[in-house]
């Protein structure tokens, strides 16, 4: 039984762990090598179950390294628990290990490079074992039965319309070469109208070709910015199609990716503003969490455990707090209950022998409101985290939680997640986000793409 399914009706598609995002990082958004594990740990402690593309797991260097740890792999443990769900193009899950070979045979350079590495045989063995452990709708989902290249085309056309309606700034780009950006977009849109194969690869090739007329240095910046847009489209495409597919099962899918104003009209944001005067309870992620064994961490996402039930209650209560059902004082008390459950769990099961003291407890998480945003006029809307410094304490004393002083007014929906801060960008500034889609807007968009069923 999927013990995590009842914890949340939301699945988070992790576009931010796309290996292409490592190749082409978004300007002013820091996504380093450790971002993958940091993201997973944030979701384990505070967030919703995750959807990760099979290709991301194979091609992201940190994901690949973790998979090769076998029984000590956090990712494999969370997949077997059902908290990480593998999104795969493979119909026969027992043949997952053959997928990279098939992709390489189609001249996919990324997979050609992967199977040529010295660790390929070990990785293939791990993928075979992983495939045998996957079960549909428990810890795996098939790619939507849609021509994803055609879905990419639909969203690209949406971005083109956005340029006319919102201005070039809506693309979230800083490049002065707007005419070349428009040229690339039009070339790709014309090509995809005839052949939707390899849409993002086509985008990359076209951007590189267009950049050759630019000076040294400017050419790479141009390609990076173009691929930033391509990655955003790629992730929203998956999120929208999956959300449209799974909503019939009572599930919502959000895409964690960069959010520029090109696609802000696709997202559901309520118009009710709540003044959060004074403080908001935040729980920090201790630095030692990265050293814990997978069994200790997977217990947090298992509702059959004491700490797992505490997390579920915390999430449910905070969602209801965000909808106005509870006071700030009640929210603080409930956060403290979850904090105590975490401390008890860590001290009883997991603290490594050299880490009996909680040193440098990182208070870098800020309250994340799925569906929430600052009003677009708020100059502070570009803030991604509330950095609260560090503290030291004894394990037996509840010190993971502190209050974020003088928080901001927010427009929020009825959902609350503390795994990410979700803000609507001001003018052209882009940020990371995982907001719910507006089904009345994204449903028709999803249905425009060619279907295979």
Each residue's pLDDT, cut to its tens digit, for the chain (453 residues) gives: 333 333 358 899 999 989 899 899 887 777 776 788 888 998 999 888 999 999 999 999 999 999 999 999 999 999 999 999 999 999 999 999 999 999 999 888 889 999 999 999 999 999 999 999 999 989 999 999 999 999 999 999 998 888 888 888 888 788 888 888 988 999 999 999 999 988 999 999 999 999 999 898 899 999 999 999 999 999 999 999 999 999 878 889 999 998 888 888 888 765 433 444 344 566 777 777 888 899 999 999 999 999 999 999 988 887 787 677 888 788 888 888 888 888 888 877 655 544 333 322 222 222 232 222 222 222 222 222 222 222 222 222 333 433 332 222 233 333 444 444 333 333 334 577 777 888 889 999 999 999 986
Number of residues that this document lists for the chain: 453
| Helices H / strands E in the chain, number of each | 16, 14
Query: What pLDDT is attached to residue 86?
Result: 97
| Residue whose C-alpha is closest to residue 43's, from 384, 396, 365 | 365
pLDDT of the residue at 328: 77
| pLDDT given at position 269 | 61
d(CA 240, CA 152): 11
CA 94-100-101 angle, 5° bins: 95
Among 307, 303, 361, 362, smallest CA distance to 337 is for 307
Q: What's the pLDDT score for residue 175?
A: 84
- Distances 336 to 122, 284, 316, 333, 401 between C-alpha atoms, Å: 44, 12, 14, 5, 7
pLDDT confidence of residue 282: 66
| Residue 396 and residue 316 in contact, taking contact as beta carbons nearer than 8 Å | no
pLDDT at 273: 36
Three-state SS at 283? strand
């Amino acid at each position: 039984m999927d013990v995590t399914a009842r914890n949340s009706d939301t699945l988070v598609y992790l576009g931010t762990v796309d290996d292409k995002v490592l190749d082409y990082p978004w300007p002013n958004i820091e996504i380093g090598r450790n971002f993958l594990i940091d993201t997973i740990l944030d979701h384990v402690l505070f967030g919703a179950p995750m959807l990760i593309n099979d290709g991301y797991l194979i091609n992201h260097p940190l994901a690949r390294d973790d998979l090769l740890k076998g029984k000590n792999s956090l990712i494999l443990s969370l997949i077997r628990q059902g908290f990480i769900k593998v999104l795969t193009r493979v119909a026969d899950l027992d043949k997952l290990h053959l997928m990279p070979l098939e992709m390489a045979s189609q001249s996919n350079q990324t997979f050609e490079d992967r199977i040529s590495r010295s660790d390929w045989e070990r990785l293939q063995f791990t993928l075979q074992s992983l495939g045998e452990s996957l079960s549909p709708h428990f810890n795996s989902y098939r790619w939507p039965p849609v021509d994803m290249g055609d879905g990419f085309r639909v969203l690209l056309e949406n971005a083109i319309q956005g340029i006319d309606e919102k201005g070039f700034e809506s693309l979230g780009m800083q490049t002065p070469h707007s005419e070349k950006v428009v040229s690339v977009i039009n070339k790709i849109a014309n090509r995809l109208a005839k052949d939707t194969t390899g849409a993002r690869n086509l985008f990359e090739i076209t951007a590189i070709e267009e950049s050759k007329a630019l000076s040294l240095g400017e050419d790479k910046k141009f390609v990076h910015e173009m691929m930033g847009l391509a990655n955003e489209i790629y992730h929203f495409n998956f999120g929208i199609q999956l959300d449209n597919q799974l909503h019939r099962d009572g599930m919502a899918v959000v895409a964690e990716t960069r959010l520029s104003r090109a696609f802000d009209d696709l997202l559901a944001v309520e118009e009710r503003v709540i003044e959060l005067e004074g403080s908001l309870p935040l729980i920090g992620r201790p630095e030692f969490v990265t050293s814990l064994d997978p069994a200790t961490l997977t217990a947090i996402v298992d509702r059959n455990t004491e700490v797992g039930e505490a997390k579920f209650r915390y999430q449910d209560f905070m969602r209801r707090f965000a909808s106005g059902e509870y006071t700030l004082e009640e929210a603080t008390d409930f956060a403290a209950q979850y904090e105590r459950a975490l401390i008890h769990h860590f001290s009883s099961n997991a603290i490594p022998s050299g880490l009996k003291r909680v040193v440098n407890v990182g208070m870098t998480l800020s309250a994340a409101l799925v569906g929430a945003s600052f009003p677009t006029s708020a100059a502070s809307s570009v803030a991604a985290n509330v950095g609260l410094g560090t503290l030291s304490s004894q394990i037996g004393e509840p010190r993971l939680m502190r209050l974020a002083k003088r928080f901001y007014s927010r427009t929020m929906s009825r959902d609350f997640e503390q795994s990410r801060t979700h803000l609507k960008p001001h003018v052209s500034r882009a940020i990371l986000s995982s907001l719910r889609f507006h089904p009345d807007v994204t449903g028709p968009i999803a249905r425009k793409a060619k279907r295979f069923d």
